[in-house]
Chain A
């Protein structure tokens, strides 16, 4: 990983990104450039196979670009960047560890390596055992999973599991939060509950967030900007500004419905 000079205020830069799975297959992205500025909240939406999850794993550093570069927070991405948080649909919790131990996992990994700049941020001092426990404590309380702390992921509800995954990621104080269909396996009330939680957190912490979803409503609720992807190859970003998102009762306004219809049209669905 090498530091690259970048504009101040820019969090993610995709510079003429090309990505394909096999040497002869259609590229998912071709010469695709896109910028996310600090503090922005983005939704990415598109039909299945459009490459939205691929894009997220590329930004997360879990996949390599074919050509072109991705820069996050001034760092060229070639492997996971310690300041980036990632939340997946299936939670990714350790089934043999309690809720509390799962929330502490990221901090333990950091202590395991020390501030080496590769696995944990270089500048920051790695938290000691006691300080880490306090951080974990705070997030268990903030996400309302204190009572579940000594239970195993197999014994709690889907919503509680996703809260555990969110707490585990936020305990590392990421500056960029990537979420891949985080709520799609949850029932409707729990999903809405967690969407509200994300909106709150976006306001509380200065967090840049990118959320991938296949649900039109979710894209409109969580993203102040919406990136619409189509069938590959994607060559230029199609962006729908959605500045009203996050306002109280945005879900029940006419603007919200109009925005959803606009997205449906862009996705080629009949309104």
Chain B
């Protein structure tokens, strides 16, 4: 062993910079604090929302705009009966569509993002089809796929599919070749690359795509549930209550559908924050 005589440190092992020595919160704590803050914001938002509702009801003073305290008891009562079943049906449709879209779009997006030739062939087609509002295909889908569950799930999955495809593709394309090379040099073949690189890289992208498109998905579900079904919140709101002038019940349905959207959004949002913790690190 020869001694190292060098001014940079006793044994040349010091690179800790002064700014790096400052105590910074751990990433886990950061994420928790963020979630706490967003829950607080949510409470505040609900408060303001209820106030606006009351003001609007007072201003309109008509049967079509009841007060929250008229709607809430009806909501609780209806939820113990049919409304709960309609909510479950709607939730099942959205969740099946999400599952189908994620399972199909993620591998295709990964493939397009990593194989440049494929992307060059298909990206003009995707750019052309992606902006089309898929809901216009509803009549065609109803004719081809029939009046059952498949047509509704298919339409929503179609919308989510393109959202996820585009985001995952771009995420996979942004993985630098050096990253892939160095993980390959650690012994990773295709399966390990998928497990340790592609999967963790695309998961946040999938969640981002879901977060921005879950609202659209539920809006389209509402439209799809106007046709050829006797179940679901869309049917409950338009056919069972609105057409029969049962406005309090109708608001209970609107509340249920809003909560469905809100819960889905929050679940995706929290998952995205947990999976994407490392992104916070860059902002330090």
Partners in one complex: yes
- Residue B80, interface by CB 8 Å: no
Q: Contacts of B143 on A, CB cut-off 8 Å?
A: none
Query: Across the A-B interface, how many residue pairs have beta carbons closer than 8 Å?
Result: 144
Give the docked Cα–Cα distance between A88 and B187 (Å): 15
Binary interface encoding of chain A residues 88-125 relative to chain B, with 1 for a CB under 8 A from any of its CBs, else 0: 11111111111000000110111011000011100000
Binds A, one of B13-21, B129-137, B226-234, B235-243: B13-21
A88 to B186, CA, bound (A): 12
Whether B178 and A90, one on each chain, are in contact in the complex, defined by CB atoms closer than 8 angstroms, is: yes
The answer to whether A248 and B5 have CB atoms under 8 Å apart is yes
Q: Is the CB of A155 within 8 A of B284?
A: yes
A197 and B12 contact, CB distance less than 8 A: yes
Q: Does B201 contact A (CB under 8 A)?
A: yes
Stretch at the interface among A4-12, A25-33, A78-86, A228-236: A78-86
Tell me if A259 is interfacial: C-beta within 8 Å of chain B.
Answer: no
Which chain B positions have C-beta within 8 A of A247? 2
Mark interface residues in B116-143 (1 if CB within 8 Å of A CB, else 0): 0000000000000000000000000000
Q: Is A154 an interface residue (CB 8 A)?
A: yes
Please, how many residues of chain A have a CB less than 8 angstroms from a CB on the other chain? 63
**B6 near A82 (CB under 8 angstroms)?**
no
User: How many residues of chain B are within 8 Å of chain A by beta carbon?
Assistant: 48
Whether, in the assembled complex, A147 has its beta carbon less than 8 Å from a beta carbon of chain B, the answer is yes
Closest beta carbon of chain B to A149's beta carbon, Å: 10
- A62, A150, A194: the one within 8 Å of B26 (CB): A150
Stretch of A127-135, A157-165, A261-269 on the interface side: A157-165
A108 to B187, CA, bound (A): 10
Whether B195 is near chain A, meaning CB under 8 Å from some CB there, is yes
Determine whether the beta carbon of B201 is less than 8 Å from that of A96: yes
Residues of B within 8 A of A249 (CB): 5-6
Nearest-Cβ distance from residue A112 to partner chain B, whole angstroms: 5
| A144: interface (CB < 8 Å) | yes
Does A253 interact with chain B (Cβ within 8 Å)? no
Q: Bound complex: CA of A105 vs CA of B14, how far in Å? A: 24
Nearest CB on B from A114, distance (A): 11
Cβ-defined contact, B27 with A109, below 8 A: no
How far apart are A87's CB and chain B's nearest CB, in angstroms?
8
B278, A152: Cβ atoms closer than 8 Å: yes
The contact of A200 among B11, B189, B191, by CB within 8 Å, is B11
Residues of chain B with a CB closer than 8 A to A62's CB: 181, 184-185
Contact with A along B19-45 (1 / 0, CB 8 A): 010001011100000000000000000
CB-CB under 8 A for A168 and B186, given A90-B176, A192-B8: yes
The listed residue (A112, A113, A196) touching B4 by CB distance below 8 A is: A196
List the interface of chain A (C-beta within 8 A of B). Answer: 57, 60, 62, 80, 82, 84-98, 105-106, 108-110, 112-113, 118-120, 143-144, 147-148, 150-157, 159-160, 163, 165, 168-169, 172, 189-190, 192-194, 196-197, 199-200, 203, 246-249
Q: CB within 8 Å of A: which residues of B? A: 1-6, 8-9, 11-17, 20, 24, 26-28, 176, 178-179, 181-189, 191-192, 195-197, 200-201, 204, 275-279, 281-282, 284
Q: Could you pull out 7 A-B pairs where Cβ atoms are within 8 angstroms?
A: A119-B187, A144-B15, A144-B16, A152-B277, A155-B282, A169-B186, A247-B2
